[in-house]
Structure 1
Amino acid sequence: MSKDQTFEKKIKRLEEIVNQLEEGDYGIEETLKLFQEGMKLSKECKKILDDVELRVNKVLGTDEEENLITENFDDDIQS
């Protein structure tokens, strides 16, 4: 799998692997290869999600206890 593969493509491949493993039509070696690929993709997807969460938190801001600071968008609406 390419390093620059999108999150969506990684998730799609991970779903394919899960389906293949659920079918159970593979020998132990192929099953192990699929499992390893799936675990690698799972870790890569988690890292992407963690990075996105960090970026969102930076945009929104967090307090010293890591609680999100949210803005009340209703204040921006003028009557």
Structure 2
Amino acid sequence: MAKKKDFESSLKRLEEISNQMEKNETTLEKSLNLYKEGVEEAMFCASFLKDMEQEVSILQKDANGIFKTNPFYDMEGY
């Protein structure tokens, strides 16, 4: 059974890959494989953060005093 990937372990692996590549003590082939793995981990982390961002919302009162949820922030505003 495959272990479910989580953000923290993926980020930790990405840091390990970065450290290994910075040391420059690997073969070209190993560096390429580390790079590919790092891209996959980075894409997973970015996707995870995007999903979490969509779940974050702020509860606000409208003019009638009714609470409703709004996006945490508008991506187009940045």
Give identity over the alignment, percent.
34
- Equivalence for 1:8: 8
C-alpha distance after superposition, 1:19-45 (max 9, x if no partner):
000000011100000000000000000
User: What TM-score do the two structures reach when normalised by structure 2?
Assistant: 0.71
Structure 2 equivalent of residue 22 of structure 1: 22
Q: Unaligned regions of 5+ residues in structure 1, if any?
A: 68-79
CA RMSD of aligned residues (A): 2.3
More helix as a share of residues: 1
TM-score, length-normalised on structure 1? 0.70
Pick closer, same or farther for the CA change 1:3–1:53 going to 2, 3 Å. farther
SS at match of 2:57: helix
Q: 1:43 to 1:3 in 2, by over 3 A?
A: farther
Q: Which of structure 1's runs of 4+ aligned residues deviate more than 4 A?
A: none
How many residue pairs match? The answer is 64
Distance 2:27 2:58 in 1: 46
User: Relative to structure 1, is the Cα distance of residues 53 and 46 closer, same or farther in structure 2, using a 3 angstrom cutoff?
Assistant: same
SS at match of 1:61: strand
Q: Residue 19 and residue 54 in structure 1: after superposition, are their counterparts in 2 closer, same or farther (change >3 A)?
A: same
